[in-house]
Amino acid sequence: MTATHTAHTHTTKRPWAEGLTAFAAVMLMIAGVLDICRGIAGIAEDDVFVTTSNYSFEYDLTGWGWIHLILGAVAVLVSIGLFQTALWARVAGVAVAGLIIIANFLSLPYYPVWSIVMIAVSGFIIWALCVVRRDDSDQMERS
C-alpha cells in the first residue's frame, strides 16, 4: 500500500515540476532572444533608448549593448539545458535571470517600461526554477 501511494504521489508531483521547468526554459529563451535584440539595438546606437541626465549609472550605449547581447546569448544556451532538465541549467538559469534583473535595473532610466517588464519576467523565471524541489527534479532526470 505504501509503494502504491508513493508511486501515485511521485506521478502527481512530476508533471508539476516538469511544467515549471518548461515554463522557466521558455521564458528564459524569450528573455534571452529579446536581450539579444536589445543588445543589437544598443550596439547600433539605435534611437529607442532615452538619454537621461544626472543618472548615477551612466554608461556607453555600445558597451551596454554588448553586455545585453552576451547576456542574452548565455540565457538562450542555458534555456536549452533547461529543456533537458539538467541541474546545472537550473542553477545557471537562476544566476542568469539574476544578472538580467541587475542589468535591467541599471538601464531603467534609459528604457523604463521594457526594463520593468524584463525584471518581472526574470523574477518569474527565478521563482519557477527555485520552487521545484530536488526530489521532483531527480525523478525527472531518472525518467
Residues 61-97 have pLDDT tens digits of 777 888 889 999 999 999 999 998 888 999 999 999 9
**Burial call 16-26: b when 16+ CB within 10 Å, e when fewer:** ebbebbebbbe
Burial class (CB in 10 A: 0-12, 13-18, 19+), 128: buried
Grid cell, residue 55, equals 543618472
Lowest mean pLDDT among 23-27, 62-66, 92-96, 121-125: 62-66
Q: Where does the pLDDT of residue 106 fall: very low under 50, low under 70, confident under 90, or very high at 90 and above? A: confident
**Which pTM does this prediction carry?**
0.74
Residue 143 predicted with pLDDT over 80: no
Question: What type of residue sits at position 54?
Answer: N
Cβ atoms of 128 and 85 closer than 8 Å? no
